Amino acid sequence: MSKATMKDDAKSGVSRTGKRIPGRFRGKGPDRAFDPGPVREVLLPLLRAIEAVPDSTPDPLTAEVMEPLLRRHAKPGGGFFSRSQLIAGFRAYAGQERFRLDEARFRRRVQRRPVRTQSGVTPLTVLTKPFPCPGKCIFCPNDLRMPKSYLSDEPGAQRAANNRFDPYLQTWNRLAAFDAIGHPTEKIELIVLGGTWSFYPEAYQVFFVKRCLDAMNDFGAGCDGRDSFEPATPDFEEIDADVLGDQFTKNPYNQRITQFLTSRQAGRLVVPEEESDWESLLASQHRNETARARCVGLVLETRPDHVDEEEVVRLRRLGATKVQIGVQSLDDKILEANRRGHDTQATRRAFDHLRRAGFKLHAHWMANLLGATPASDCEDFRRLFDDPAYRPDELKLYPCSLVETAELMGPWRRGEWRPYDDDELLEVVTRCLPAVPRWCRVTRVIRDISSDDIVVGNKRSNFRQIAEAEIARRGQRLVEVRQREIRDEIFDEAALELIQTEYAAGSGTEIFLELVTESDRIVGFLRLSLPTQTCFIEELDRNALVRELHVYGASVAIGAKSGTHAQHRGFGARLLDVAETIASAAGYETLSVISAIGTRDYYRGQRFSDGELYQHRALSPSQEKSPQPARLSGT
């Protein structure tokens, strides 16, 4: 066993630092703090009442159904039982009582905030530790207690800081929190945020991903390694965080973070406890392939000018399937004015490399940057989809918000920049959103910054709804993916239609295959790339490539049956067969897939065999067995 493996293996109970600090970094798992024993007389009848709700009532139960039950069976001292307490009670009594429902069904019934998992997987976000960033972007917050661009009062950032940015603790505690409120933890999309991923040392990157996987592996196996070590990252709460953006000189975030880390870590930015090797990562990946809590997607966040061929291969070795990439603007003058430190040529190159390697591309684009106008923003946004070099699969649309620690404070005070007023911002967003094609998913419209942090500008967190209502009032319809997801709607399988949209992207052709209902709601989709050039990754050569396969429906546990929702009904297999037919007819001999660590087993069952970084299905020359999809025009 390698040194790193020994140090990092919490399951083995070996401490990473030798210091034991029981309980300090445990999450607030409500089911652990709550003892169902003393409240059995009240809680058990409530569980029975929930169980007695007719099976024809859709899961999860709505507030209209749940609230009268909770009120009728209130806690002895007053107040209502929480979802996590209901689940904890169900678990505690299940040994002695016979329940009609199994635990998974009961959890689905009482689950809250289902929207988080409606797209089929449970997203779990973790943050890397504060670290220097190569960017000098003037709109970027400089909160010294956070990785660059994050603010310490954002909920996800607070969770990360509470866990001292340790990947194992963040992941384990978040899984426990999901489990406690009834969210499935079997299929996890791991989203790693913070600064520029590609700028962190490779050994830290490997360590970070490995420890997230270790937490999933341990959690799924009922093993808790949280007490066996203390996070190696120093507590950034100690740092003097009093920063004013317009008083910055020469990128002080990097200087002060470097000074803080090196003074506490014997001159190093990353200490040996935060480093792992590829061999130990491979072992953790291998365990996760069949773990109960599987990583079915790994998302990393970086800058265009740090994406070269070598970096793309590294991302793939880590197990990444999607890259969040800061585009911000497609105008070189705007990029320069905002000190992005790269031009549009770098963005074009990064998109090309990532697409050729099969990654999903999740772009960040900003309105209202220094030098932009509402008219120039609308034009810039159009380029994102008109130019085949870009055409991202997912998009975050962030109008620039002014925060006190950003250098944009200077231009604002000098009158060189101002935030758009309400009408201008609404006009930009209502003109941009309808331009998004049916194969792109708009994940966010406004960045979720606390209104206390915004010095001037839009403070309405429901701006997306306002814009969507205005678009509907104008008689326009949005077709982007998120608008059309089936969510937990019941649908008629026999009436589903298969639609194929073809468009040029990068150096090849993209095919977007969708299974849609009569009202154009998406049940599942597949992104197929048909490249025309050889790939710098030899294993892909000239193969057709499945970049994404997604079937909607509330996230269903792997192996569980779902009678009414989209997952586990064979839609994925159907879409793969259609992709095979199209690829074969186009003359490709192999269909490859950029599988996540936790989906490798699924693809093995779909006649794919393991390659080094991808999985592959050999194609026969003629394929006539799949139905021909209806075709739509390009973008």
Q: Which stretch binds ligand SF4 (CB under 6 A): 23-31, 134-142, 224-232, 472-480?
A: 134-142
Query: In the complex with ligand SF4, which residue's Cβ is closer, 149 or 280?
Result: 149
Q: CB of 480: closest distance to ligand SF4 in angstroms?
A: 24
The only residue of 27, 132, 167, 195 in contact with ligand SF4, by rule CB under 6 A: 195
Q: Which stretch binds ligand SF4 (CB under 6 A): 132-140, 233-241, 411-419, 490-498?
A: 132-140
Q: Smallest distance from the beta carbon of 619 to ligand SF4, in angstroms?
A: 41
Does residue number 132 form part of the binding site for ligand SF4 (CB under 6 A)? Answer: no
Classified as helix, coil or strand, 589 is coil
Burial tier of 247 (Cβ tally within 10 Å: 0-12, 13-18, 19+): exposed
- Whichever of 195 and 297 has its CB closer to ligand SF4, that residue is 195
What secondary structure letter does DSSP report for 471? H
**How many CA atoms does the CB half-sphere of 381 hold within 13 Å?**
29
Which of 149, 152, 405, 458 lies at the binding interface for ligand SF4 (CB under 6 A)?
149
| 395 exposure class (CB count in 10 Å sphere: 0-12, 13-18, 19+) | buried
**73/303 with CB nearer ligand SF4:** 303
Give the other-Cβ count within 10 Å of 442's Cβ.
Answer: 18
133: contact with ligand SF4 by CB under 6 A: yes
CA 290 to chain centre: 21
In the chain, the amino acid numbered 381 is F
**Residue of 148, 164, 317, 600 that binds ligand SF4 (CB under 6 A):** 148
Q: How far is the CB of 197 from ligand SF4 (least distance, A)?
A: 10
Identify residues 322-381 at the interface with ligand SF4 (CB under 6 A).
326
- Distance in angstroms (rounded) separating the CA atoms of residues 56 and 47: 18
Identify whether the C-beta of residue 516 lies closer than 8 Å to the C-beta of residue 496: yes
Among 135, 399, 419, 457, binds ligand SF4 (CB under 6 A): 135
Q: Does 303 bind ligand SF4 (CB under 6 A)?
A: yes
CA distance 295 to 11: 18
Q: Report angle CA 36, 40, 41 to the nearest 5 degrees.
A: 155
Q: What values do phi and psi take at 551, rounded to 5? A: -115, 130
Cβ nearer to ligand SF4, comparing 140 with 213:
140
CA-nearest of 520, 521, 579 to 549 is 579
Helix segments in 190-233, DSSP class H: 202-220
Whichever of 288 and 324 has its CB closer to ligand SF4, that residue is 324
CB 508, CB 358: distance < 8 Å = no
Which CB atom, from 301 or from 548, has the smaller least distance to ligand SF4? 301
Judged by beta carbon, residue 366 or residue 576, the one nearer ligand SF4 is 366
Shortest distance in whole angstroms from residue 547 CB to ligand SF4: 24
Lay out the site mask for ligand SF4 across 304-333 (x = CB under 6 A, - = otherwise).
----------------------x-------
Residues in the chain: 635
Q: How far is the CB of 379 from ligand SF4 (least distance, A)?
A: 22
Supply the minimum distance, in Å, between the C-beta of residue 274 and ligand SF4.
Answer: 20
| 627: nearest Cα among 517, 497, 524 | 497
Q: 432 with 480: CB under 8 angstroms?
A: no
Task: Confirm or reject binding of residue 144 to ligand SF4 (CB under 6 A).
Answer: no
Q: Which stretch binds ligand SF4 (CB under 6 A): 135-143, 160-168, 212-220, 456-464?
A: 135-143
Q: Which amino acid is at 297?
A: G
Q: Which two tokens stand for residue 12?
A: 């083995």
Q: How far is the CB of 399 from ligand SF4 (least distance, A)?
A: 15
Q: How far is the CB of 486 from ligand SF4 (least distance, A)?
A: 34
The amino acid that residue 375 corresponds to is A
Q: How many CB atoms lie within 10 A of CB 121?
A: 23
Residue 584 in contact with ligand SF4, rule: CB under 6 A: no
138 in Cβ contact with 338 (< 8 Å): yes
Residue 483 makes CB contacts below 8 A (sequence gap 6+) with none
Residue whose CB is less far from ligand SF4, 197 or 603: 197
CB of 306 to ligand SF4, least distance (A): 9
Q: Which is nearer to ligand SF4, 302 or 458 (CB)?
A: 302
The nearer residue to ligand SF4, 140 or 169, going by C-beta atoms, is: 140
Nearer to ligand SF4, 196 or 584 (CB): 196
Residue closer to ligand SF4 (CB basis): 277 or 404: 404
- Four-point Cα dihedral 18, 16, 170, 276, nearest 10: 170
Stretch that binds ligand SF4, among 108-116, 129-137, 276-284, 429-437 (CB under 6 A): 129-137
Q: If binding is defined by CB under 6 A, does position 137 make contact with ligand SF4?
A: yes
Q: Is 36 in the site for ligand SF4 (CB under 6 A)?
A: no
Distance (Å, rounded) from C-alpha 237 to C-alpha 146? 9
In the complex, minimum distance from the CB of residue 452 to ligand SF4, in angstroms, rounded to a whole number: 20
Q: Nearer Cβ to ligand SF4, position 80 or 199? A: 199
| Binding segment toward ligand SF4, per CB under 6 A, in 100-108, 133-141, 263-271, 402-410 | 133-141
* Residue 194 half-sphere exposure toward CB, CA atoms < 13 A: 27
Q: Give the nearest distance from C-beta 194 to ligand SF4 in angstroms.
A: 8
CA dist 225 and 179 (Å) reads 17
- 3-class SS at 283? helix
Q: How far is the CB of 140 from ligand SF4 (least distance, A)?
A: 3
The CA distance from 602 to 591, in Å, is 15
| Nearest distance from C-beta of residue 281 to ligand SF4, angstroms | 25
**Rounded Cα gap, residues 369 and 377, in angstroms:** 9
Question: Do the strands 187-193 and 122-127 form a parallel or antiparallel pair, or are they unpaired?
Answer: parallel
CA dihedral 144, 452, 112, 471 (to 10 degrees): -110
Contact stretch for ligand SF4 (CB under 6 A) within 105-113, 130-138, 282-290, 610-618: 130-138
Shortest CB 198 distance to ligand SF4, Å:
10
Ranges assigned E (strand) in 347-418: 360-367, 394-399
Interface residue list for ligand SF4 (CB under 6 A):
133, 135, 137, 140, 148-149, 195-196, 303, 326
